[in-house]
Amino acid sequence: MPETARAKITALGAYVPPRVLTNQDLEKIVETTDQWILERTGIRERHVADKGIAASDLAVEAVKNLVKSHPMDLQEIDLIVVGTVTPDMMYPSTACLVQHKLGIHHTWGFDVSAGCSGFLYALNVGTEFIESGRYRKVLVIGSDVNTSMVNYEDRAVCIIFGDGAGAVLLEPANEGDDNVIVDHVAQVEGAGGAFLYMPGGGSLNPASPETVAKKMHYIHQDGQQVFKYAVKKMAEMTERVLERNQLTGADVDCFIAHQANKRIITATADRLKMPMEKVIINIDRYGNTTAGTIPLAMQSAVEEGKLKPGDTVLLAAVGAGFTSGATLLRWGF
Ligand code: UT7
């Protein structure tokens, strides 16, 4: 058996499609206002993929951006893990499509379906593979085109979502290097499935004229239920991972949460007594990009000088499922 190792993030790339949909644009589509959206969610605008652009396309662009900032031979990639709930199609997996589009040979991969926790869960999986000692270069991607599932007549849903993707490279840390993925906690509670789901197109309700007529191919969300659960659970998961590592919010240099609603993020930061300058918020520019939010927020944090080598970073997400999780790491580059 190979020796076990700690995993470390060694590179980052992110991507959003160029087309921007502002709150003012949405005012022309549904009965809403820029003020309502901004006050209730913190969103000003979001990027939307054009027809024909799918999750694998955004993922590929995010990986290309990763390579631009961290030149490497993609042929060395051992494993590709993609967090997504908007795969290009039911199968093959998005990971297979990404592998093919990037021309990476001698690798394997699969998708992780965890709603808005998709990137965090994919990161957990990638970390375990590195820690097994068998794998040395793992691409962890979060990519979603949730606007393709949005009913632009449902004003409580269509204002939230944007499209985007991000990718990190995981590698084994060198001996003595403590800028590693330190710990993670995660939990699913399937009873919450009824509050955020897409009922059509799966094996229960295969696509048919009837499922389309009943709008079953769109996102169905009870926003208030999701909101209440997210506030409670994000606090619980972040406190759990901090406590078991004998840390408090005061020890965290950078808090990067899933960007679903600014009020969920600030409620968690308040509970952890974290000043807002340590909290990364870019939901105003991107909206909720599902599995894309955390790597996109990492990218914003790096660009804004809020994420530096050695920083203690807390990641957190809550999503459809319900899924939730929190990850503690020290930034390495
Ligand atoms: O990433 C995980 C996925 N999703 C989430 O995390 C979403 C969590 N939930 C939320 O972010 C919020 O619940 C929403 C942003 C979706 C909705 O905000 P809210 O403050 O919970 O609004 P609400 O659903 O309680 O609706 C309040 C009012 C209602 O009107 P009445 O019944 O009080 O007259 C809605 O019809 O606001 C109305 N409303 C809107 N008004 C203007 C709902 N959507 C809109 C809108 N513009 N876009």
Q: Quick check: CB of 230 below 6 Å from ligand 1? A: yes
pLDDT value at residue 4: 75
**pLDDT beyond 60 at 129:** yes
Query: How far apart, in whole angstroms, are the C-alpha atoms of residue 330 and residue 333?
Result: 10
Share of residues in the chain with pLDDT > 70 (%) = 99
Q: Quick check: CB of 36 below 6 Å from ligand 1? A: yes
How is domain 181-330 classified at the CATH fold level? Peroxisomal Thiolase; Chain A, domain 1 (3.40.47)
Cα→Cα distances 250→246, 306, 316, 328, Å = 11, 16, 16, 14
Q: Torsions phi, psi of 160, nearest 5? A: -85, -45
CATH architecture for segment(s) 7-172: 3-Layer(aba) Sandwich (3.40)
What are 12's two structure tokens?
């980052």
Pairing assessment for the beta strands 220-221 and 196-197 based on DSSP bridges: antiparallel
> Per-domain residue ranges for the chain?
7-172, 181-330
Task: Find the mean pLDDT for residues 25-35.
Answer: 98
Query: How far apart, in whole angstroms, are the C-alpha atoms of residue 308 and residue 304?
Result: 10
Which atom, in ligand 1's list, is nearest to the CA of 290? 1
Task: Find the mean pLDDT for residues 283-298.
Answer: 98
Q: Could you read off the pLDDT of 260-286 as tens digits, one per residue? A: 999 999 999 999 999 999 999 999 999
Please provide the distance, in angstroms rounded to a whole number, between the alpha carbons at the two ends of the chain: 29
**pLDDT beyond 60 at 162:** yes
pTM above 0.75, yes or no: yes
pLDDT value at residue 234: 97
**pLDDT beyond 60 at 108:** yes
Which residue CA neighbors atom 4 of ligand 1 most closely? 260
Share of residues in the chain with pLDDT > 90 (%) = 98
Which residue CA neighbors atom 12 of ligand 1 most closely? 223
Query: How far apart, in whole angstroms, are the C-alpha atoms of residue 177 and residue 171?
Result: 12
Secondary structure tally for the chain: helices H, strands E: 11, 13
User: Catalytic site residue 288?
Assistant: yes
| 52 Cβ contact partners less than 8 Å away, ≥ 6 residues apart | none
pLDDT value at residue 3: 72
**pLDDT beyond 60 at 1:** no
DSSP structural state of residue 227: H
Q: Which of 261, 265, 296 is the pocket-test mutation for ligand 1 (most atoms within 8 Å of CB)?
A: 261
pLDDT value at residue 2: 66
CA of 244 to the centre of ligand 1 (A): 35
